[in-house]
Amino acid sequence: MSRPRILVTRRWPAAAEAALAERFDVTFNEKDVPLGLGQIRQALADYDAVLPTVSDKLPASVFERDIRTRILGNFGVGYNHIDIAAAKAKGILVTNTPGVLTDCTADIAMLLLLAVARRGGEGEREVRADAWKGWCPTHMIGTKVTGKTVGIIGFGRIGRAFAQRCHSGFGMNVVFYNRSKINDDEAERYGALQLATMEEVLAASDFVSLHCPGGAENRHLMNEARFATMKPGAFLINTARGDVVDEMALISALEAGTIRGAGLDVYEAEPQVPEKLKAMENVVLLPHLGSATAETRTAMGMKVVENISAFFDGREPPDRIV
């Protein structure tokens, strides 16, 4: 019996690629660049499984023709780059990789919070430019983190891991907004208090960190009105998805001093980042590094292998979305 044909749209860590190659007839994207819509459409016609990443766009239009693909094994936990309804309508099963990137993404959120509060990006640029004139009592004064209030939007795995770091590691007060009610005892494990509305969290917080899914439901969750609700000296942290933030509204809020700064790991039109954001000293910008450790990226690949192996063995994939 022939092995299922699999397309991997980007290169993975070697161990994960080897695990795939042991089980399947695998084609790797040797150029390791995002595939265009035409290439994705052709892949769906040619392969039994396609394993996309966040850099691959799968709108409804790629599912319009005859399709051979039976499963999309997404390399990542977020899947707003895939039109799930269109895939489901074609009978395609979709999986993701939850759990394994929780700690690393929470770490990046903490890195951004500290960097923007203590002006780490500005300081490093100054040193590299040979512009530092030496220690001075009033030089590059930042914001203390300990004792401040952090507001978390979305209290899933990553939101909770971030709350734990903020509360237990830095003595911060934690409030959060979540669409569903979280058990009080569970929230208390993370030193966190659930508030009834997102606006209450924004108004109470010195730092606001986004940990909610992307996609149509949460597109531009952070908009002009919600930036106006934040404290004037507050900071925004986003390690969720770029489309959760209206970037033009963010730029306006930063320019007007409505908020003090931002730390971003994700963007609306990755890899494009607005020039105005890049020019701002009070913004720390990272190139989508949330899960970028060897351990996590390998574990993500192994999750995909587990999901598609289960599918082709006739078992239920453990991380099925639809």
288 noted as active-site residue: yes
Distances, alpha carbon 218 to alpha carbons 7, 98, 188, 240, 242, in Å: 30, 19, 26, 11, 10
Q: Work out the burial of residue 1: count CB atoms within 10 Å of its CB; fewer than 13 is exposed, 13-18 middle, 19 or more buried.
A: exposed
How many other C-beta atoms are found inside a 10 Å radius of the C-beta of residue 197? 10
Which residues are CB-neighbours of 303 under 8 A, at least 6 positions away? Answer: 97, 99, 100, 319
17, 126, 199, 270: the catalytic one is 270
SS3 283: strand
Helices (H) and strands (E) in the chain, counts: 13, 12
SS3 207: strand
DSSP string over 308-322: HHHHHTTS--TTB--
> Is the CB of residue 40 less than 8 Å from the CB of residue 60?
no
157, 160, 241, 297: the catalytic one is 241
Give the whole-angstrom CA distance, residue 128 versus residue 121.
11
270 noted as active-site residue: yes
5 noted as active-site residue: no
Place of tokens 């949460």: 218
Catalytic positions are: 241, 270, 288
